[in-house]
Structure 1
Amino acid sequence: MSSLLGSPSSWPGLPLGFLGDVDPVYPDEAEMNDLLCGMTELGRGKSFLAWAEYQSVAVLFDRLIAARESSDGLIVDGFADCAARIARTQAISQHAAECLLNEAIALRDRLPEVFACLRDGIISPKQALLVISRTDLLDGLSAAVDVDAEIAMLLRSRRGSWSRKRLRDMCDRIVFRHDPDAVRERRQVALDERGVWTDPRDDGTATITGLMAAENVRIAAAAVTALADAVCERDGRTKAQRASDAMFALLSGTTFECLCRHDECTAQIPEPGTIPPVDTTAVIHVVCDESTLAGGADHPAYMDGHGVISAEHVRDIAARQGSVTKPLIPSGIPASADDTYTLPAHLPSNPYRPSTALDTFLRIRDGVCVEPGCETSAWRSDADHVTEYDHDDPAQGGQTTAEGMNIKCRFDHGRKTFGDWLDDQYRDLDGRLHTEFTTPEGLVIVGEAETNEDLFPGLRRIRFQAPTHAPPHRPRILDTNQPTRVRTRVANKHARRRAERSRNRRRHTADGPPPF
């Protein structure tokens, strides 16, 4: 008889190579970069263990479910019986065990190529779950084979990281292209299931959930935020608490009040039933190509804060009252001989400031902050010069161009500006845009593997005129009685960063891409 009580675990005896060559007994003796690389290797180990667990679960499925002639019972069937074995031995719930069974079969039978990526440590267990969820409507369809192969090919061939949002959008655009009918049907089913539910919680609280079209959620959330922000700065509630109170006021038609308790309160709270505040407009950014908007094509589109949406969905949004359509390429701009369009890159009065066209282009192209893992919307972030702009001599770098700028959230923008992190951006020989980030210790980390250029290939046909002149010279007044620097501290830091970027690019040519 077998027992779960066995000999001591053999895992502590693993060679250090499996742990990124970092001794877990003396981790403080490792260099900073070795610790980070070791964590990456541990992540690959977690992926392999998850693959091995799914393999075992799939074998249990074959023996206890697939091999039985009939597995349907009134109370107990083969699936439930198999899940019960897993639940008891792993001390998890029956529901969690059934989910594990479904995940194992989905990976093995529907996504075998992605399953191999999990085995090889190319994706994490969480990323594998995301791919499962974004492809579940293909279960049993012939398109599943092609979608699995294309997703796995991109995972293996692309340099860089896959944040949750980038991986989600990559899977969605592939699914939308291979089986648009299934996507259309799924959206209609989801809309038919819209509704509102409440769920009581402990300590006299409860939650309210509303399922509706994604654009309606964005509009409703903007209204709640606008009302919550109408209080004065002395209101003691957190942002989340104000939002909860504002949502109740909107739903119930009652008055939302500032709780500062001051006689000289400056809050301007709108009357119940009015749009809060009266001068606020909810803006939802949706991007699509012209042919899809006109109905001549069914290419997927992109909704800020949501992700990839279908062609029918974007046309529904465009038909809503109050929708405004703005082309990225203004009418009257002629195409060049190579079928590209050239737009101004900067304001005529200042080559440091990007033009409206370039600013919009950057936000469309990047979608979110370019820092790996950050999902802050590009429309709530800053346009940043990758190489620092030299106001005295723009030729030194930091040009206001599409390749010379990207989008960073306010936090990451400030961390780069005032810290010692370095980033770089360039196109490879295939025309793909790459970002890199270098830690203060010199570890080079490759940025996200995908941008919205993959969703909208037409963005690669847009060119921008580089600045041709520097801003007016601003004389600096120096106190001749004090010692002066040849260059300021900021100028010295920018010079060091330019030199480091140059070394990194030479390394690309000599040694190939960085390991991350």
Structure 2
Amino acid sequence: MFDRVGLAGMGDEALVSALTAATQDEAKVAARRLALIGEVIARQCDGEDDDHAHQVINGWAWAQAAVAAACNLNPYAASKQMRIAQALRDRLPRTAALLASGAVSATVVDAITWRTHLVEDPDALGLIDTAIAAEAAQYGAHSEKQLIGAVDLWVEKFDPDAVVRSRRAAKDLYVEFGDKDDPNGVASFWGRLRVTDTKVLQQRLDALADTVCPNDPRRRGELRAAALAALGVVGPALERLTCACGDPGCEGSGKDPRAGAVTIYVLADQVPAAGQQAPQQTVPGTTGTPESQPTKPETTSESESGGDSEPQTPAAESDPAAPAACHPSPAVMLDGAIIPAHLLAELAAGGAKVQPLTEIAALPTERQYRPSAALTAFVRMRAMTCSFPGCSRAAHRCDLDHLIPWPAGATHPANLAPLCRLHHLLKTFSGWQPTAKPDGSMHWHAPTGNTYTKAPGVALLFPHWNIHTPVPRRRAIRLLDDTDRDTRMPVRTRTRAQDRAQRIKAERVHNATARALEHTHSDSDPPPF
């Protein structure tokens, strides 16, 4: 793809001209893709009756699953693409025409559709679409801030209450977690609380920070962070913070409750010998590796908080006999977060539970419906995420589903898979049929006739781990008649369209109130002289 055959001989002008044409072609392909997504939505949602619209797996959910699988997107990303496609098809036809001609990029269109999503009046929307289309071809050359300002200018002119305020300003109270720029091993969070709640929380954290001895090396901010995390594990019963002074005689020394909430599952790892391209597969049922291969332990850790657990898949210290290029492997949580090796070591030293991860040969068919703890851990660690194509929800936040319903389908590693609640319902009620393969991958057959494959997450990160699982035969047990299955579909109190309309209405009211307050303050302020 990126070899220089056919490119090296091009002149500079021809090369840049080809780049310009390719950029326009990319926009045209994006327009075609969004048009296809819009048609999928139209076939499932247009003319949907009220009863079906109130079901959890309604037309939108069905279309979302089809788009997510076809485009390899998680449900949130698929919904975003669907909203853009809907806006271009039903709300902004002139902007859609610009994208189809290659005059603007998909990134520009993404910003335009979002900054106009609160506009409800059709006449105002038509004027805004016309104004934006007249100048949108120039937007791509501007920064994101300039682009947003250019779009907001027309929204402000024709529908001031529809100007999208910043997310932080639009929410009175909120807490957000995680940022794409967070370094490995830590996660940022931010938010806004009531001033009284803030004072109470600050006093509680400071009080816990004051319980450590004067020799604790941590700064005030670090102590507050440790106190907040400990409160999340222990709860309001926490009376003092574990001191980090290192003195065993210190009254505050002991195990850190944060580490005690983590379970580290251990499995065998292999380090390639010199000249070897890939680690050799272990023999099914063995926990070791060939004697000629240096080894190092590898772990899968699972964080448990109350009834909800968050599994992780890390590797521990390296073997001294390993090649010099090999370093202690980091932890990999099931949601993809990286835990550096030094933090993993701190957790183990601080009291984290450590136990081996059961090998596949030691996991026979179980007689009961609910899988054992060992089988549950294996299935979740193997998949790492929901087993539906494109879905990235961590396996510990998913249901553990019998692919072939029990008792016809056994409680066996090859008949169990984590499915988030949305895709569990989709499989149960909407005709999506999964088929497990011995390598841990999942083949999905869609009602449309399309097929998709989802590989187990561990196959990429830990290819040496033996997860080969022969698929057992379906047992000759007749299942109960499921002719009334649709009557058991969970329903919503409001349709998705009603929910969206309510959110838009609430944000417009918030914007109108904010504008009225700004106007009142500006009238009461004295002139600046």
TM-score band (shorter)?
Answer: 0.3 to 0.5
TM-score (structure 2 length as normaliser): 0.36
TM-score (structure 1 length as normaliser): 0.37
Kindly indicate whether structure 1 or structure 2 has the higher relative contact order, using CA contacts under 8 Å at least 6 residues apart.
2
